[in-house]
Structure 1
């Protein structure tokens, strides 16, 4: 496309977007800025059932724009309970570890139990025998991860362990053609977003036009003048797919295939025909309102080193005990003798020998398949627990392939083959950013030797591509996945066919994120449960963000706030625990007293018998 044609296309689409936005804003403008006391925002009702003010700040429309959440996560709970609880946490993923941070700072005795030989849950990483760092998934930090950034500042990892990327979302297409959403614009959101969509090479003029029409009539535009109203509209769209929403008023298939599908796969490993409109529009809403929301960061090295190790040190400094390779075998609990309903969790049994650990409070900080395995059958009598079994998950496969040159170096054969000298600290050839593609089976990928060189670059080696395959490919063998990954890389980077693969790894997760399909959101449980001393955490639990690192962080902070709010007082968790332990002791002593005295038998009579 020539410069004049490109300029006319940009101007036309920008004009359409601006016109639609202005007219839509006028239509959506509230007649009064005050909210009627008789009408509650959907986000207001979402806070029902939460006790702590801290948990409530993580829920509802205000939480999306609340930059103070970063300070809260950085500074800790800001309270030390009068009573000291003995707390057991099942699961040492992000949610569990972050909950442990706050609970330890609030003065409680915390012990954690993790099934795997390493922490991190779905954000885990480890080293093989040759010191290659292996991951599950590809972990990117969006600029709106306010809570997680606060945690990283609290543990000292934010400034030194994250690398900020250019404010561009890059699409790599067949033949090495690039498209982009380039948010680098003198004026921030929403203008930078309008400019990015209008100028993108990923769509033709016709698709840009229809894209502009659909986005111009979306809840995103309403949110610019009435954020509560816009977000409430988004919440009501959980029962339809993004494709259904997008095509209702002008959106076309071309936009879905070439741009929205890669983004949907990157967010939830589902295409637009499957993912909930609510899930997609929640992210776009943040991009439209906050300039920094679409800025990407990646760790300088592995998640273990850059994210988990600082948290582990923080916990160990506060005497939190982390037990690895320690699966929970049973939640030991009491039942109401009349109703048969669970009333209290007394403790947990751990490992092959079912070692019993008693606690005042138990938190299960697991993923969806984990919590389904751990919950006793009796718990499903409560609707909250029973709904968990309605949550579905998606499979993924993470493929890592290392080459003897730079795969993502475009149109420069000499640079592609140059792996001489020290090319650490991001100096290697290639694209230093997250990459999307509509022409490969991996939803998103990156050259970790460039984007996260601290532990992924090896001197004398080239690119380390990490690609995440979704359900379309996970049933294939590991060998076939590696072959397919290399072949598809050659499609989008044709010159890379001259390179050789020197190492590869495949990690499959049959059940990864919970499936962000229509109708799933209503099954997500809150952190406090009908069993007063039993709590849940994990990114699948109820919080307004997606199943992500930020979602896990939010849930960990929320469950800690809920426990802290309930710990003290005559009816608090500690008082209840002491009372029930005393009752159990008295009952045991009473049963011993009532036991009839055994008849004494003469020694010689026993011998004769």
Structure 2
């Protein structure tokens, strides 16, 4: 990863193969008690952020992930002065990537762009990155043990919902009995209502947050075969948990988009690494409008005062190594993940249910594995093409499987060749281990060998190929756990503290925890800020602003 062109405190060091992350993403801070605050090093300096255009708001954003970046773009467009404080040595959050000592691009997950990522596509269009997406065939492919493939083929003469009906009626992934049960469940779902009354269907879907998708599916005639062979891999890919543990709201939200809009189920992937083709274009856009990014800056504490019982944030205590700095702004945005915001919030704020409910949320572990080969693993039919290294060969798309510990995977050398195809080398499989719990404490070499064995079970024709390199990245706390009954605990972007806002895909937004959800949450946070404080006057205290 090249150095960001924004104002960056330090450049990213080389990271070794097999690096392990066991902390959350974003720029988490830590609420400090008076005793722990006293044990910190003395404050070295204090800083007031510069004003925006025409005396505009000064906004400090905690977290340089997609939610924080989306917030920043909206605010700089409105003339605000924005500075972002990111604890990691790179921006991007869970969508971040970096380059190791040998020049390998390493990611923390498999990043796939559904056609219904309208907010994210709008952001990419604005910053000049939309051309960095590679369109895939309108087919969702399943790889079963022994190399047998199954498909949801959405290609059809007409669009939604008929292309979806065709895909499910003709899929080879399910038996005839499974397809019949599947049709019964989906045919009696809110999705049908959504074809004529989308708002009404979405209200019904939100109410189904209280039950798991598996319970809902069985209650509508679905069977275990469909859950195991089709829906579990999809649930793992979406939320890193299976259908017994994921909310029906989460799954049905996606299906509603698929049924209503033909393009929603079309997949895209980036030309190369997320840092090169997504994060850096956003950072360039922000720099051109005066925004600043500070990496390796961990927010230690949120300081505030209360006037007539109304709190107002006065500064952030930000650490760079052993040096701490007080950062003062007009408005503050915490664009963290779940563990990050739980560490950042002052304990006293839990007297408000909006903040206290956040501690009822949880995050799921995940491990992402990259395996490089000396041939083309997903080339199923031609042994000569599989073993040659002159041209890439195989399946250029996202792949699902019900028969391995990784639910979804792709050959990045095919899907995203800009940074992942290498002359003289073969496939670079990126595989997401879900659930990740059994792997967080395991040794990276053991994980890589375990995954390699499962790859060879799925692709017997590739058993003669050799693994030449691997990487394992672990996140003990990744996506927010979209379990039944959790949706009411998700906070709004606007909080009881008038100049303190939240962003992050765990916050309230009409999508799931995803790149689209993160983008939407950031845009909602920015709009809440502008609605409250525009036109802005520094003479007007944020605590009493409308």
| TM-score of the pair, normalised by structure 1 | 0.79
User: What residue number does 2:121 align with?
Assistant: 149
**Contact between 1:348 and 1:358, CA under 8 Å: does it hold in 2?**
yes
Of residues 278, 282, 292, the one that matches 2:263 is 292
**Contact between 2:499 and 2:543, CA under 8 Å: does it hold in 1?**
no
1:207 correspondence with 2:171: no
User: What residue number does 2:25 align with?
Assistant: none
**Contact between 2:498 and 2:543, CA under 8 Å: does it hold in 1?**
no
1:527-542 correspondence to structure 2 within 5 Å: 527-542=493-508
Of residues 500, 506, 521, the one that matches 2:472 is 506
User: Residue by residue, what CA displacement relative to the aligned partner does 1:35-78 show, whole Å, maximum 9, x if unpaired?
Assistant: xxxxxxxxxxxxxxxxxxxxxxxxxxxxxxxxxxxxxxxxxxxx
User: What residue number does 2:72 align with?
Assistant: 100
- How has the CA–CA distance of structure 1 residues 81 and 542 changed in structure 2, closer, same or farther, with 3 Å as cutoff? farther
Q: 1:576 Cα shift?
A: 3.0
**Which structure's CA Rg is the greater one?**
1
CA separation in 2, counterparts of 1:222 and 1:186?
23
Equivalent position SS for 2:134: strand
Of residues 358, 361, 365, the one that matches 1:388 is 358
CA separation in 2, counterparts of 1:573 and 1:373?
32
User: What residue number does 2:328 align with?
Assistant: 358
1:458 correspondence with 2:422: yes
Of residues 146, 154, 177, the one that matches 2:148 is 177
1:414 correspondence with 2:362: no
User: What residue number does 1:301 align with?
Assistant: 272
Q: 1:573 Cα shift?
A: 6.7
- The answer to which of 99-108 and 279-288 deviates more is 99-108
- How has the CA–CA distance of structure 1 residues 188 and 535 changed in structure 2, closer, same or farther, with 3 Å as cutoff? same
Indicate the structure with greater strand content: 2
CA separation in 2, counterparts of 1:473 and 1:138?
19
- How has the CA–CA distance of structure 1 residues 579 and 235 changed in structure 2, closer, same or farther, with 3 Å as cutoff? closer
User: What residue number does 1:520 align with?
Assistant: 486
User: Residue by residue, what CA displacement relative to the aligned partner does 1:515-566 show, whole Å, maximum 9, x if unpaired?
Assistant: 0110111111111111100001011111011000000100111111111112
Equivalent position SS for 2:258: helix
Of residues 300, 306, 312, the one that matches 1:344 is 312
User: What residue number does 1:468 align with?
Assistant: 432
Equivalent position SS for 2:326: strand
User: What residue number does 1:164 align with?
Assistant: 135
1:328 correspondence with 2:299: yes
**Contact between 2:373 and 2:428, CA under 8 Å: does it hold in 1?**
yes
CA separation in 2, counterparts of 1:511 and 1:110?
28
CA separation in 1, counterparts of 2:329 and 2:393?
53
Equivalent position SS for 1:170: strand
Q: 1:93 Cα shift?
A: 0.5
Q: How many pairs does the alignment contain?
A: 489
Indicate the structure with greater helix content: 1
Q: 1:579 Cα shift?
A: 9.6
Q: 1:82 Cα shift?
A: 6.9
**Contact between 2:498 and 2:542, CA under 8 Å: does it hold in 1?**
no
1:157-306 correspondence to structure 2 within 5 Å: 157-159=129-131, 161-306=132-277
Equivalent position SS for 1:347: strand
CA separation in 2, counterparts of 1:280 and 1:429?
33
CA separation in 2, counterparts of 1:112 and 1:368?
18
CA separation in 2, counterparts of 1:362 and 1:484?
45
**Contact between 1:567 and 1:574, CA under 8 Å: does it hold in 2?**
no
Equivalent position SS for 2:410: strand
User: What residue number does 2:461 align with?
Assistant: 495
- How has the CA–CA distance of structure 1 residues 164 and 274 changed in structure 2, closer, same or farther, with 3 Å as cutoff? same
Equivalent position SS for 1:483: helix
- How has the CA–CA distance of structure 1 residues 111 and 417 changed in structure 2, closer, same or farther, with 3 Å as cutoff? same
Q: 1:229 Cα shift?
A: 2.3
Q: 1:508 Cα shift?
A: 0.2
User: Residue by residue, what CA displacement relative to the aligned partner does 1:241-294 show, whole Å, maximum 9, x if unpaired?
Assistant: 011000012111000000000000000011111100010000000000000000
**Contact between 2:497 and 2:543, CA under 8 Å: does it hold in 1?**
no
User: What residue number does 2:367 align with?
Assistant: 397
- How has the CA–CA distance of structure 1 residues 187 and 568 changed in structure 2, closer, same or farther, with 3 Å as cutoff? closer
Structure 2 residue ranges without an equivalent (≥5):
1-51
Equivalent position SS for 2:432: strand
1:8-87 correspondence to structure 2 within 5 Å: 84-87=56-59
User: What residue number does 1:124 align with?
Assistant: 96
CA separation in 2, counterparts of 1:473 and 1:301?
30
Equivalent position SS for 1:468: strand
User: What residue number does 1:54 align with?
Assistant: none
CA separation in 2, counterparts of 1:122 and 1:463?
24
Equivalent position SS for 1:144: coil
Q: 1:479 Cα shift?
A: 1.2
CA separation in 2, counterparts of 1:578 and 1:524?
24
CA separation in 1, counterparts of 2:167 and 2:543?
62
